[in-house]
Structures are given as structure tokens and as C-alpha cells.
Amino acid sequence: MDFEQADALNQAIRLLSLRHRARAAALLAPLGLHPGQEALLLELARTGPMIQAQLSEALGCEPPSVTLMTRKLEASGHIRRQPAPSDKRASIVELTDSGKALTKELRRLWRALAEETVTGIPAETLAELPGILKTMTGNVDTRRPRHPHDGRDGE
């Protein structure tokens, strides 16, 4: 890949990420949520109660970020945390009735954001897009070992 192609790709990914997050923030603000909190609530709706460390892994977030999110969501009444029976240092996180009701609205907003984001993309491309994006995310996952650099700088 030459520099111009690499630059165009990296810029497109950067701008999509920034604009998607900003649009998500605008949709979440009326619900009193910040980006990232919706992912935590939706994960709990999908999986049921889980240990905070497992939630951190599932979300791909650092544990301190999940701790901060859970504190805020607990203060707003959307989740509750309790000590894990097997390990009193670990916390089990679960949705409250308020959190369960909120996830219904989050699903609607998340679907609307996805539809808005992919407007104009052909159906056959859209069908492949989640797999492509998952591969790209795995390629830049900082939690996995790096491939040895082949020494070329692309010039």
C-alpha cells in the first residue's frame, strides 16, 4: 500500500470514529448517558449479571474505565453492584429495573445510529461490513502480541 492510500484509509477511519462517537453522544445525552455507558448496559442486557472484570474484558475497556462507568450508572440507578460470593474483592454488576427499561430505548437509538451510519451502502457490502470491521479491530488490538515488523517502511 502506498502512502497516499494509507493516508486516505487512516483519515477515513479516524473521521468515522470521531463523528460516530459525537453522534452517539448527541443521541445518548437526552438519556443522561455518555458514550461507552450504553455498551455496558447493552452488554448486561445481553449476558445478564457478570463480574466487573469480565465486563471489562467483554467491552474491551481497561478496568478503571469500567469502574468509573459502573459507579456513575449505579448512582443513576441503572445498575447495582454487589460482592461476588466466590471473591469478596470482585463485584457482580447487574441491571436494575430502571436499567432494563433504559436498554429498550438504547436498542432503538443504537439501531437508528447504525442505519444512519450505513445509509447509501449497497446491501452486499453491508452484509460483509461487520466481518471486515471485526478483522480491522483485531489487527490493531493492543492486547494481542504484535507481528514482527518486516523492516520495510512502505516507501
Query: What's the pLDDT at 23?
Result: 96
* Inside any domain, residue 150: no
Q: How many domains does the chain have?
A: 1
* Inside any domain, residue 57: yes
For residue 12, give its domain range.
Answer: 3-120
**pTM to 2 decimal places:** 0.82
Query: What's the pLDDT at 149?
Result: 52
Number of neighbouring beta carbons within 10 Å of residue 34: 13
Which own/partner contact pairs does 100-108 have at CB distance under 8 Å and 24+ positions apart?
Answer: 100/45, 102/31, 102/41, 102/78, 103/41, 103/42, 103/44, 103/45, 105/31, 106/31, 106/33, 106/38, 106/41, 106/42, 107/42
* Inside any domain, residue 45: yes
Q: In the beta sheet, which residues pair with residue 82?
A: 92
143 has pLDDT over 70: no
Number of neighbouring beta carbons within 10 Å of residue 52: 18
Where does the pLDDT of residue 98 fall: very low under 50, low under 70, confident under 90, or very high at 90 and above? very high
Over the chain, what is the mean pLDDT? 90
Where does the pLDDT of residue 86 fall: very low under 50, low under 70, confident under 90, or very high at 90 and above? confident
Q: How far apart are CA 2 and CA 78, in angstroms?
A: 48
CATH number at residue 31: 1.10.10.10
* Inside any domain, residue 114: yes
* Inside any domain, residue 153: no
Q: In the beta sheet, which residues pair with residue 92?
A: 51, 82
* Inside any domain, residue 155: no
Q: How far is CA 9 from CA 6, 123, 128, in A?
A: 5, 22, 18
Q: How far apart are CA 125 and CA 130, in angstroms?
A: 10
* Inside any domain, residue 52: yes
